[in-house]
Amino acid sequence: MRWLFTTDHHLDSRLAIDNATMWNNDYNSGYPGSGQYNPSYLPPPGPPPSDSGGYDGEGYGYAPPPGPPRPQQYRGYGDTPWGQNAPPRPPAEQQHYGPMIEGPDYSQKQPYFQYSQCTGRKKALCIGINYFGQDSELGGCINDAHNMKRFICQQYGYQLDDVVMLTDDSRDPIRIPTKQNMITAMQWLVRDAQPNDSLFFHYSGHGGSVEDTNGDEADGYDEVIYPVDFQESGHIVDDDLHDILVKPLPAGCRLTAIFDSCHSATALDLPYVYSTEGKIKEPNLMAEAGEGLLSAVSSYARGDTGGMFQSAMGIFKTVTGAGESKEANEYTKATKTSPADVISWSGCKDSQTSADTQEAGRATGAMSYAFVTVLTQNPNQSYMQLLNSIRHILANEYSQKPQLSSSHPMDTDLLFIA
């Protein structure tokens, strides 16, 4: 199981907002602090196994998943064969929602977001942590990272030079998934992002829960992920993942995130979580969006934290007879709705664990395996179809229920693109 539970609180916010020099485009310049790499996190001696004949020509020895199942075995949930009746692509224009609201200049405005066309630059970060030699050692996370890299390059046109890998069998110190390396790599991923860019983030490793301190969690717990050096450096909390990966993105920029870890449904703190029917769970935004929401979203986009929280508290005052869970839900929507096009696929609910398992004789994460398998078999799936396809392929063997969340209300009948 990929989980850890701790009573620790947020990571040092100074790390989350570190403005140190980013990695350059070819990822060869290193970054400040790399000379202080802790040798205790070196990979095991000797080369990784090579029985598979190499991976993408790199000699890693991590074979891709077996070929896709035959169509008669599994085609996808409610889907047609490739190329037939494919779901519509996302529209290019801005999408407005909620009521018209009078702004400070007396003009009529609405909250908005913009879907990415995924026609711009593509960049990816894949992180796989097996925690070699630790009590919490896992078996399939490094495999997951390499398999995901291969998949997105073949399926979605990502270039090898634009995919950064952090795995704890690497012999390059800046490619070890320490806390600082992970934060720096995430900053590299979103640097200079533009509308219609397509960014991809994949994490396979331990996840956990810690007590929430800012009131944005309905269950009272923040979700966290664990770097390889978490015992010395601590975890990375979902609030900081959101600040690093989501907040810098402009409208129309896509970030696709996959968390193959425990307690991961809202690991990126995205406010809209979807059911298998494509509906927002506990949907309140459309009916209750008002001036406070518009102000909060605008403040978020400007980086005006004070204004954002003041508007969020105004929303609280309008909610009568609601419990803490209701308030947390509204608070998250008010403070973390984004005009960027951010989608997160996670291995399970916040209350569940994700399996570290074996498929075709190789260690893998159940979520990573299912995601690659169903999209290899049929790439023309809507968001709702894909969520159901992933759940369907895991349902017979695993209790975990993969989740879909987004940074804005979206049409789940649109074609999933990356």
Q: Which residues are part of the catalytic machinery? A: 206, 262
Distance CA 172, CA 70 (A): 40
Q: Which residues contact 275 (CB under 8 A, 6 or more apart)?
A: 281
Distance CA 218, CA 143 (A): 34
Amino acid at 168: D
Residues 190, 201: Cα–Cα separation, whole Å: 10
Q: Residue 355's closest CA among 399, 387, 391, 395?
A: 399
SS (H, E, C) the chain: CCEEECCCCCCCHHHHCCCCCCCCCCCCCCCCCHHHCCHHHCCCCCCCCCCCCCCCCCCCCCCCCCCCCCCCCCCCCCCCCCCCCCCCCCCCCCEECCCCEECCCCCEECCEECCCCCCCCEEEEEEECCCCCCCCCCCCHHHHHHHHHHHHHHHHCCCHHHEEEEECCCCCHHHCCCHHHHHHHHHHHHCCCCCCCEEEEEEECCEEEEECCCCCCCCCEEEEECCCCHHHHCCEEHHHHHHHHCCCCCCCCEEEEEEECCCCCCCCCCCEEECCCCCECCCCHHHHCCHHHHHHHHHHHHCCHHHHHHHHHHHHHHCCCCCHHHHHHHHHHHHHCCCCEEEEEECCCCCCCCCEEEECCEEEEHHHHHHHHHHHHCCCCEHHHHHHHHHHHHHCCCCCCCEEEECCCCCCCCECCC
Cα–Cα distance measured from residue 132 to residue 201, given in angstroms and rounded to the nearest whole number: 22
